[in-house]
DNA sequence: ACCTGAACACCGTTCAAGT
DNA sequence: ACCTGAACACCGTTCAAGT
């Protein structure tokens, strides 16, 4: 008896799911669509992922890993204040390029027990804040800038900025405001 | 022939849906559950709401109206800097008290054509910023503080602050940072 | 005018059977 | 070891029929 040959792989499936989510959003993602994209039938997906949520979680982890890379590359070897700005811009760019993926990252039902990936993605900002302000306020400062970035990106990709004027300018302005405020603290 | 007597009303239905969402989240909301809560069957809901999305939208508008009231009451007649802080605290409190409702408000698929309700809820912050900083930077400043608040509340209710230290303190700190930064601009 | 049961479409999920 | 068709549960939605 010859065992069935695998037609696909976990990585293929994750990549296909991610592409579909990027295009249509996670709510529209059907296991049938994913299966079809990798040349199998929906029930076969259950050999590799416990359920739909587990697959979404895998896509999320994939995206979070990429986000961490993007943030670290942006910060590079720049001095802390410059690195912070570059990181902020890179963060926003990531969100704008793949809004549906960005939204996926923060779905509450996708948090797993370990929290490893999200911790890794949050690390770069915290490290920079420590370099800039010292350990006493670094966590609070990281929460400040992180919250702003998250909120701004969501507002922007959800279409909540519709009163005119430049959104780019508002972003630049806000980053200046926050960094100035942090320096004084 | 006696026409059927209405067993419920739009307002009852919206209130029931809101209560159920508050408890279990919008994703878990079933039209059957809503119908049962007001003593009718699911198909009857379609006499009053075009579809499930329209019902969610009505709940969202209801919540946004309440949010605007809460924010205006918090600001009251205080001088602008005080009013801004009070409003920020009220905003966070609203989100923490009804996290699932807060999340609902910002679902992209629930935005309607007019955008009236969301505009009204954003107005108080913008007005205060104009009073505080003048019309030249008020919109950018409003976007700054609004983004921060939105991001912070989401991070908090989604459970993204888990590195210890006081979250309350981080919020206070952040508000100070941003207001200080704004004054210097 | 509003309510209902029955029916349909769609989708996640399970499982026994195939190679 | 992986894949499949068939079946089931659940839910949004439609519609003809009831009062």
Kindly report, residue by residue over B153-185, the tens digit of the pLDDT: 999 999 999 999 999 999 999 999 999 999 987
Burial class (CB in 10 A: 0-12, 13-18, 19+), B88: buried
Is A113 an interface residue toward B (CB < 8 Å)? no
- Contacts of residue B90, defined as CB under 8 A and 6 or more positions apart, other chains included, come to B70, B71, B73, B74
User: Each residue of B72-86: pLDDT tens digit?
Assistant: 999 999 999 999 999
| Angle formed at CA B155 by CA B180 and CA B176, multiple of 5 degrees | 10
Q: Which residue is nearest to nucleotide D14 (CA to C1')?
A: B43
Residue of B nearest to A138 (CA): B170
How far are the Cα atoms of A97, B43, B48, B63, B92 from residue B52, in angstroms, in the given order? 30, 11, 11, 17, 28
Show the tokens assigned to B77.
């007649």
Show the tokens assigned to B93.
């409190």
* Contact, B48 CB vs strand C, < 7 Å: yes
Check residue A1 and give its pLDDT.
Answer: 57
Q: What is the mean pLDDT of residues A85-100?
A: 98
Q: Which residue is nearest to nucleotide D1 (CA to C1')?
A: A3
Residue A39: left (phi > 0), alpha (psi -120 to 50), or beta?
left
Residue B134 φ/ψ, nearest 5 degrees: 85, 165
Matching residue, tokens 């990798």: A38
Cα B166 to the chain's mean position, in Å?
Answer: 24
| Alpha-carbon dihedral sign for residues A9, A15, A18, A19 | negative
- Contacts of residue A32, defined as CB under 8 A and 6 or more positions apart, other chains included, come to A42
Calpha distance A25→B82 (Å, rounded)? 41
Q: Which residue is nearest to nucleotide D10 (CA to C1')?
A: B30
Chain A positions touching B181 (Cβ under 8 A) are 176-182, 184
Is A123 an interface residue toward B (CB < 8 Å)? no
Q: Which residues of chain B have pLDDT under 50?
A: none
**Interface with B, mutate which of A181, A182, A184, A185 (most B CBs under 10 A):** A181
Is B48 an interface residue toward A (CB < 8 Å)? no
Is B155 an interface residue toward A (CB < 8 Å)? yes
**End-to-end C-alpha distance for chain A, whole angstroms:** 72
Give the Cβ contact number of residue B149 at 10 Å: 24
Check residue A66 and give its pLDDT.
Answer: 97
């Amino acid at each position: 008896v010859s065992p069935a040959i695998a037609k696909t792989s976990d990585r293929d499936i994750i990549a296909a799911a991610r592409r579909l989510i990027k295009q249509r959003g996670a709510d529209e993602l059907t296991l049938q669509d994913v299966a079809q994209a990798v040349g199998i039938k929906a029930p076969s997906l259950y050999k590799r992922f416990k359920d739909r949520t587990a697959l979404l979680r895998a896509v999320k982890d994939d995206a979070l890993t990429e986000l961490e890379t993007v943030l670290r590359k942006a910060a590079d070897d720049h001095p802390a204040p410059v690195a912070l700005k570059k990181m902020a811009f890179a963060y926003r760019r990531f969100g704008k390029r793949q809004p549906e993926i960005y939204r996926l990252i923060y779905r509450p039902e996708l948090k797993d027990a370990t929290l490893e990936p999200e911790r890794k993605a949050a690390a770069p900002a915290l490290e920079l804040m420590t370099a800039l302000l010292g350990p006493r306020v670094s966590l609070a400062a990281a929460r400040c800038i992180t919250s702003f970035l998250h909120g701004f990106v969501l507002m922007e990709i959800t279409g909540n900025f519709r009163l005119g004027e430049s959104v780019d300018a508002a972003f630049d302005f806000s980053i200046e405001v926050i960094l100035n405020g942090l320096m004084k603290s």
